[in-house]
Structure 1
Amino acid sequence: MALREDGTLFSWGRGYTGDGTQWYRTEPVWIKSNENEDFVDNLISVKIDEKVLEFEQLPILVDGTTLVPMRKIFESLGAEIEWHAETSTVTAHKGQTTIQLTIDSDSAIINGELTKLDAPPIIKNGVTLVPVRFISESLGTKVEWKETTKTVQITSN
């Protein structure tokens, strides 16, 4: 078992892991340890390769799209980011790729080309949240959703 800094409890192993099943769990599953249903329903973990990321602002779901803290994801994937407060835009650079996002805009610019987003970037509790699939795939990674553990798995090349 593991207790995360946000107070959530996860378990894995053989037999009863606490999630109501008798399955062998090789990946941690969330064990209901918080009675707040809104919190519970939106609890999402993010892993890059085999590392679970810790966030000051937890990822959230907005209309079926997972939004994650931008800086942590970008920097974990080796990108450099710049915040432009006067225009509420973020620019990320990794290798030959440049991505520009504007808060509350449903479009992004990748290497000069306009691209539609599933959800616009937002600011919550002073943290910029962005659509994880778009950002990760734009930086050349594979993104997978694991429903049983509510985990976004990002695999770099």
Structure 2
Amino acid sequence: MLVRSTDREPARVPSRPLYAGKKMLSFLAFTALAPTYSAKIVVLVDNKPVEFRNEQPQTVQGRVMVPLRGVFEAIGAMVQYDPANRTIEASRNNESVGLRLGSKIAKKNGAEIMLDVPPRVIAGTTMVPLRFVAEAMGAKVGFDKANNRVEIMTQDVPPVQPSDKTDDPR
């Protein structure tokens, strides 16, 4: 904003570094909270690919987030979502899990567990942290970083042989 000067006062010019700094800070804050879109993440349950209907798995704050029903149902869990209370209840065999949208506190068989990333709604789809959900239901989870693939084993099925399997905490 440039203001005309008069005989009495000089023209004022807004501080460009301050303006640029504010713009950069708001951009960084937005991108830090946004999901990270990278190569497609493939999820296998007992060596079978999971098909996600709407939203695809994505990385949020270093954690793989997946659509709620896609993984719970693929591992054989019963799922109930209460939109009024924004809670998710799931059970499989003798395991039960309780989650609340936006809360980092989850429950496994009644015991509270702190999550790294809370469940959230992304583009209208309820997304949950994959590793916690699968392990809480008694499954084993592995991450094949080279192929961007998550392997969930609910039974004693030999896993697919990846090229570079890591024990990545995602």
Q: TM-score range by the shorter chain?
A: 0.7 to 0.9
Are positions 1:43 and 2:40 aligned together? yes
Q: How far apart are the structure 2 equivalents of 1:99 and 1:155?
A: 18
Between the two proteins, the alignment pairs up a number of residues equal to: 119
- 1:74-123 deviations in Å (ceiling 9; x for gaps): 11111111111111000001122211100010110111110011210011
Identical amino acids, percent of aligned pairs: 33
The CA RMSD over aligned residues, in Å, is: 1.2
Out of 46, 49, 54, the position equivalent to 2:51 is 54
Residue 34 (structure 1) aligns with: none
Q: Which runs of 5+ in 1 are unaligned?
A: 1-37
Would you say the 8 A contact 1:42–1:61 is kept in 2? Answer: no
- Equivalent pair of 1:120/1:131 in contact (CA under 8 Å): yes
Q: Decide which structure has greater strand share.
A: 1
> Structure 2-normalised TM-score?
0.67
Deviation at 1:125, TM superposition (A): 2.1
TM-score normalised by the chain length of structure 1: 0.72
After superposing on structure 2, the runs of 4+ consecutive aligned residues of structure 1 that deviate more than 3 Å are none
Letter in 2 for 1:101: L
Task: Specify every segment of 5 or more residues in structure 2 that has no aligned partner in the other structure, as ranges.
Answer: 1-35, 156-170
Give the structure with the larger helix fraction.
2
Q: Which has the greater radius of gyration?
A: 2
Describe the SS at the equivalent of 1:71.
Answer: helix
